[in-house]
Structures are given as structure tokens and as C-alpha cells.
Amino acid sequence: MIMKIFLGIFVGSIRTIGKDNLPKQHNGYVVVCTHRTWLDVVALGIAMYPTTIYYMAKKELFQSKFTNWLFTSLHAFPVDRENPGPSTLKIPQKLIKDGKVVGIFPSGTRSAENTSLKRGAFVIAKRAGVPIVPAVYKGPTSLKGIIKREKIKVVFGEPIDVNDYDTKEDAEVVLKQIQDTFLKLEKMGD
């Protein structure tokens, strides 16, 4: 329901680039996206429409009734970043097994700067045997920017196959590949 409201308001102002990079026939996959603002969560969901994306989100976002309702409506599920337990991997793996798409913001927090990426997306994709699709949000970082109708773009890169990577060192190689792809996608569509 929330996505339908946002679709009705913003769909005309979101430009999607590289959507043909999203796997057509899939058994689920992981999408990783830059994270600068709360708007990138909504924009990514709209850009992937009609495919539903299930987001990993820090558990603190679910503490009030309103935010719990909001994030649940956006298909987010809570993750304890301080004390990650088995559910941190079980929930996204079950979703992927059911053919769903799991969205992860690998910086772990909103940031305008390039921050080091966390390994969670790699671990989840590797265990599930699915690719990682990088995506970049380009657009306003505040409600003021939305009101001013600043352009919003979501740019998708080519899927990254993680099947040939196994070690922690390999994970770092994949994270570097994701980071390099983010930088490349930032320049697209300007």
C-alpha cells in the first residue's frame, strides 16, 4: 500500500537506468545500493517495480509503532547489527529460496561519503548461490528536494556472480568490485 502511494506521487520523476541488468529468470538475488538518505529505499523499490524487494534494516527502525508499521509496509525486516544472530542470515536466505529479491545497503548506514562496505551481502549471496546486482541512487537527500521536484535516478549495474569466490580475501575482492561499480554507475546518466 505504501509503495502504491509513493508510486502515484513519484513514479513520473524517477528515471531508471540499466534495469535490463536485473535477472529476468531468477531464483532470487541480492541487490546492493548506495545509502545516502531514506529516499533511496523508496526509490529503489519503485525502480524495481513490479518486482518486490525485501530490505534488511537495523532493528532500531522498528521500535515505535509507526516506524514498525512503515518499514514492515516497505517489506523490511529487522537485523540486530550489534549482535547478529542466525536470523541475520536465515531470513534473507529463506526469502531468496522463495524466489524473492533481498535489498541490502552494504555501507550499513546512510552516508554521503564513500564508506567501507560490510560483507553481509557477499555472505548471503554466496550461501544462497545467487548473484549480487549493484545499484546507485542519485537524487535529492531531503524532503525539500522532493518538493522542488529534483530529478531522481536509480542506476543498475551488471550482476556479479559470487560462485567462484570462497575466502574472506575473496569477499574483499567482491566488495572492491561493488565499490568500483558504484563509482562507475555514479557517472552514468549525468
Higher pLDDT: 39 or 156? It is 156
Q: Whole-angstrom Cα distance, residue 21 to residue 188?
A: 14
Higher pLDDT: 20 or 71? It is 20
DSSP label at residue 160: B
- Per the CB < 8 A criterion, the answer to whether 73 and 105 are in contact is no
> For 129-180, what is each residue's pLDDT tens digit?
999 999 999 988 877 777 777 888 999 999 999 988 888 888 889 989 999 9
Q: What is the pLDDT of residue 58?
A: 83
Domains in the chain, please, with CATH? Answer: 2-187 (3.40.1130.10)
Q: What is the pLDDT of residue 103?
A: 94
Residue 92 parent element (H or E): helix 87-97
Half-sphere exposure of 142 (CA within 13 A, CB side): 3
- Torsions phi, psi for 2 (to 5 deg): -60, -45
Half-sphere exposure of 133 (CA within 13 A, CB side): 24
Query: DSSP string covering 100-141, please?
Result: -EEEE-TTSS--SS--PPPSHHHHHHHHHT--EEEEEEES-S
pLDDT tier for residue 113 given thresholds of 50, 70 and 90? very low
> For 45-76, what is each residue's pLDDT tens digit?
889 988 999 998 888 888 899 888 888 888 98
Q: Whole-angstrom Cα distance, residue 157 to residue 177?
A: 11
The whole-model pTM stands at 0.85
